[in-house]
Chain A
């Protein structure tokens, strides 16, 4: 086991290994902390995509890279194309893509 870890560390470098291990640890911790009955949001935890509205997901995901654009910037058909581009480029989940697109089309 130790050899495998050392080999991975050598291959991806120490910083990469540190980040991967940190990510795994944080994922596990957050996953444990967010265990809750279906349909409820446990106090102090981040709600999942299913519990968020399209507007909320639009604000959270888009602003991570650039200023959010008004839904009126494009027509519904144009948003379909733009959102498919963003789904691939920004790694949006299908749920995020669907909800954000619905929100943008409704407001365009």
Chain B
């Protein structure tokens, strides 16, 4: 009985051993499959096989060369086979397992890198995008101002940008707008800039006036928060574009930044003609021919103590008027710009302010009385500016409400004691709706208040502005 039991046990153990021996290869194969790092795919095998074949060819070529050298003949240059240097480098590891794992991994990395490079190159060959960019902005609006006929208007500014090298850059801006029943074309900007080093860029040509923060950064219709532009800073006491040269840059000081711009340009012209008596003593900034032969120098210094805040000061000095009896003119500007994305107020707060002073020293207009008004002189000092606040509830979880942006602005221009003869101040209340980050619909109502007997001109304005 015991022997029978023993026999059964032995047979069972034998069967189990045989079964284990049969299953062992499958188990190992399964483990290999579970460890993909050690697994060589068909493609990798084919690649390795090709490399191996290429190596064999090379070896044969080398053998031939050695044989030729031994025979005293010059070896012929081996033809470059299909094996790349990279593949040869990979093949140097002839350690079996290393070739199976390291070489395919390196090849895969190389391939991935090449694909990424190609993707970038393909994207960069999209039509019209190689080192050139056509950008700009356009707007269409409606204005109903008391005492004037209501009207529609439209304008278009095309911005042509060329990156010629990593240091050389050219920008041109062309403005097309309706004025007095015709279409005007103005060359706002035509400037070549060269990056001298990390902290200095030189620019020559026609450029936006660097001392005027609003003009340089915020006058574009899709950036400006209201349909019209503030008094004094735009189309008022400061030039918009100047013709000359500028040196500019930024100096990082820890977490803060100091920006600077110095420029020399054609001087403005002093209006001495009484064709328009109210304009006498004003500065004509469209003096492209530089009548009078004077030059203006100026600059702007900006300081960014924290990313949300920027304050600046700009100045321009120039002799103006006829060469034989020129007067000194000084334009100054202080600017303040604060933008904060506040979680407490659930939105973006935007606070902008700029104040401008203009002074032309003593000058006698119509000294010989030939125009029938003189001799005439006055204290030619003017000042003005604006303060503006806007709020957009970007953190409110409503797709419509978050795109609204109420705006309020106070602006004024003081020139009561000049031939203009009045001071003007305005309160403007606006509501914007942002269709995209660079497309906005603006509606605003402006309360106008003039002294000196001039008529107040309240206005209702609509504007659609798009930046592209």
Residues of A within 8 A of B (CB): 12-13, 15-16, 19-20, 22-23, 26-27, 30-31, 34, 45-49, 59-61, 63-70, 74-78, 80-82, 84-85, 87-95, 108
* B162/A81 in contact, CB under 8 A: yes
Interface of A is mostly: helix
Please give, as numbers and ranges, the residues of chain A lying within 8 Å of B132 by CB-CB distance: 81
Contacts of B401-429 to chain A: CB distance below 8 A: none
* B438/A69 in contact, CB under 8 A: yes
Pick the residue among A70, A77, A94, A108 that contacts B198 (CB under 8 A). A94
* B217/A90 in contact, CB under 8 A: yes
Residue of chain B at shortest CB distance from A108:
B123
Pick the residue among A23, A65, A68, A95 that contacts B258 (CB under 8 A). A23
* A75/B257 in contact, CB under 8 A: no
Contacts of B334-368 to chain A: CB distance below 8 A: 334, 337, 339, 341, 348, 355, 357
Q: How many A-B pairs fall under 8 Å by CB? A: 146
* A12/B255 in contact, CB under 8 A: no
- Is B28 engaged at the interface, CB distance under 8 Å to the other chain? no
Please give, as numbers and ranges, the residues of chain A lying within 8 Å of B216 by CB-CB distance: 89
A27 CA to B355 CA, complexed, in Å: 23
Please give, as numbers and ranges, the residues of chain B lying within 8 Å of A46 by CB-CB distance: 255-256, 306-307
Please give, as numbers and ranges, the residues of chain B lying within 8 Å of A27 by CB-CB distance: 253, 256, 258, 303, 305
A60 CA to B348 CA, complexed, in Å: 12
Pick the residue among B222, B254, B357 that contacts A31 (CB under 8 A). B254
Residue of chain A at shortest CB distance from B310:
A64
Of the A-B pairs whose beta carbons lie under 8 Å apart in the complex, a sample of 24, sorted by A's number, is: A13-B315, A16-B313, A16-B334, A20-B313, A30-B256, A48-B252, A60-B308, A63-B339, A65-B217, A65-B218, A67-B437, A74-B133, A76-B123, A80-B163, A81-B132, A81-B133, A81-B162, A82-B135, A85-B133, A85-B169, A88-B248, A93-B198, A93-B252, A95-B252
Shortest distance between the CB of B352 and any CB in chain A (Å): 10
Please give, as numbers and ranges, the residues of chain B lying within 8 Å of A91 by CB-CB distance: 248-250, 257, 259, 302
* B302/A12 in contact, CB under 8 A: no
Please give, as numbers and ranges, the residues of chain A lying within 8 Å of B257 by CB-CB distance: 91, 93
* A78/B198 in contact, CB under 8 A: no
A92 CA to B348 CA, complexed, in Å: 22
* A66/B467 in contact, CB under 8 A: yes
Shortest distance between the CB of B301 and any CB in chain A (Å): 7
* B222/A84 in contact, CB under 8 A: no
* B255/A75 in contact, CB under 8 A: no
User: With A46-B255, A46-B307 in contact, do A20 and B337 touch (Cβ < 8 Å)?
Assistant: no
